[in-house]
């Protein structure tokens, strides 16, 4: 039995579909961590800051933060390191001795979820195309820049891309959805960080006949597990992965921050969460 007793949960609104409890509780059991079950807690948008502080008073020492509270969580923190000051969003909190420390495990989760072959062939000093400029895009762009990728971003609202470029101090090429098929032949990696492709949403349409044969496509969406973008990528012979990989790897980083144990990421954890979908 480990010595840590930190009590943990994920907060968000909505929160019912979160898979984080299944992931963390599996690892808590696997690693015999001396703690209670990781919970999921819906927070009211109008009173979020007070509710988060109440959770600390109720003994929660570790929180994961999801939509729409990542920016608020950042503002509540007493301590954050430099990358977080640039990202302005926190997805993992530690509360100890009355001090709130914030982390963002999304960039490391994304980097660790990609195998070395893809990193070498499709990312490092290669050309990536990111769809979206929301909260998750910031983490992905930060991570791609760390991996020395040349980044182009397409977003419905171009001004948001300019803001990310300024906040993160990363040069970004900005293109529009109309231009996808003019630039696709130069792209080595595509990352979709938008909600396009989720149920009831329209899809990102790409002419894969014009793409490189070894293009890799990463969709952060995991419900559905295979979006139309990934189906098209598969049909054209590209490699691809969905958002479950990043979900599990960012969770592993949070688990390590709280419990000091890096959990083993095995096929079993993926089968458990795939079955839940």
CA of residue 127 relative to chain centroid, distance: 20
Report how many residues bind ligand NAP under the rule CB under 6 A: 23
The three-class DSSP label of residue 117 is helix
Asked if 88 interacts with ligand NAP (CB under 6 A), we say: no
Q: Is 277 in the site for ligand NAP (CB under 6 A)?
A: no
The residues in 204-263 that bind ligand NAP, with binding defined as CB under 6 A, are 220-222, 243, 246-247, 250
Catalytic residue among 7, 32, 42, 70: 70
Which of 12, 21, 135, 263 contacts ligand NAP by CB under 6 A?
135
- Complex with ligand NAP: residue 7 or 251, whichever CB lies closer: 251
Q: Is the dihedral of CA 146, 135, 153, 166 positive or negative?
A: negative
For residue 267, count other CB atoms closer than 10 A to its CB. Answer: 8
**Is residue 133 a contact residue for ligand NAP (CB under 6 A)?**
yes
Site membership for ligand NAP, residue 165 (CB under 6 A): no
Of 60, 130, 54, 64, the residue nearest 93 (C-alpha):
64
* CB burial string 92-109: b at 16+ within 10 A, e below: bbbbeeeebbbbbbbbbb
Residue 268, token pair as written in the block: 């079993």
Residue 8 or 105 having the CB closest to ligand NAP: 105
Give the burial class of 46: count Cβ atoms within 10 A of its Cβ; 0-12 exposed, 13-18 middle, 19 or more buried.
exposed
The answer to whether 178 is a known catalytic residue is no
CB of 270 to ligand NAP, least distance (A): 13
Work out how close the CB of 163 gets to ligand NAP at its nearest, in angstroms, rounded to a whole number: 10
Q: Which two structure tokens, joined as six digits, stand for 54?
A: 């109440």
Based on CB atoms, which residue is closest to ligand NAP, 4 or 136? 136
Instruction: Point out the residue whose Cβ comes nearest to ligand NAP.
Output: 134
By beta-carbon proximity to ligand NAP, the closer residue of 73 and 247 is 247
What b/e sequence results for 236-262 when a residue is b if at least 16 CB atoms lie within 10 Å of its CB, and e otherwise?
bebbbbbbbbbbbbbbbbbbebbbebe
Using CB under 6 A as the criterion, which residues of the chain lie in contact with ligand NAP when the complex forms?
A: 67, 132-137, 155-157, 160, 193-196, 198, 220-222, 243, 246-247, 250
Q: Residues with catalytic annotation?
A: 70
């Amino acid at each position: 039995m480990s010595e840590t007793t930190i009590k943990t949960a994920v907060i968000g609104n909505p929160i019912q579909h979160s898979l984080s409890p299944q992931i963390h509780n599996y690892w808590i059991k696997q690693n015999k961590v001396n703690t209670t079950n990781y919970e999921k807690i819906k927070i009211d948008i109008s009173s979020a800051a007070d509710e988060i502080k109440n959770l600390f008073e109720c003994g929660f020492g570790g929180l994961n933060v999801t939509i729409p509270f990542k920016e608020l969580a950042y503002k509540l923190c007493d301590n954050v390191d430099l990358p977080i000051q640039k990202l302005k969003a926190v997805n993992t909190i530690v509360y100890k001795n009355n001090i709130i420390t914030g982390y963002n495990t999304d960039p490391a989760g994304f980097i660790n979820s990609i195998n070395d072959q893809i990193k070498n062939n499709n990312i490092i000093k290669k050309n990536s195309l990111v769809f979206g400029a929301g909260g998750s895009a910031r983490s992905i762009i930060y991570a791609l820049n760390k991996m020395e990728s040349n980044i182009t971003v397409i977003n419905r609202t171009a001004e948001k891309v300019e803001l990310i470029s300024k906040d993160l101090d990363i040069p970004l090429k900005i293109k529009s959805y109309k231009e996808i098929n003019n630039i696709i032949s130069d792209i080595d990696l595509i990352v979709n960080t938008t909600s396009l492709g989720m149920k009831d949403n329209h899809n990102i349409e790409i002419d894969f006949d014009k793409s490189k044969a070894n293009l890799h496509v990463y969709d952060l969406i995991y419900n559905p597990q295979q979006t139309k973008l990934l189906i098209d990528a598969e049909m054209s012979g590209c490699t691809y992965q969905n958002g479950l990989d990043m979900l599990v790897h960012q969770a592993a980083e949070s688990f390590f921050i709280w419990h000091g144990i890096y959990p083993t990421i095995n096929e079993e954890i993926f089968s458990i969460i795939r079955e839940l979908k």
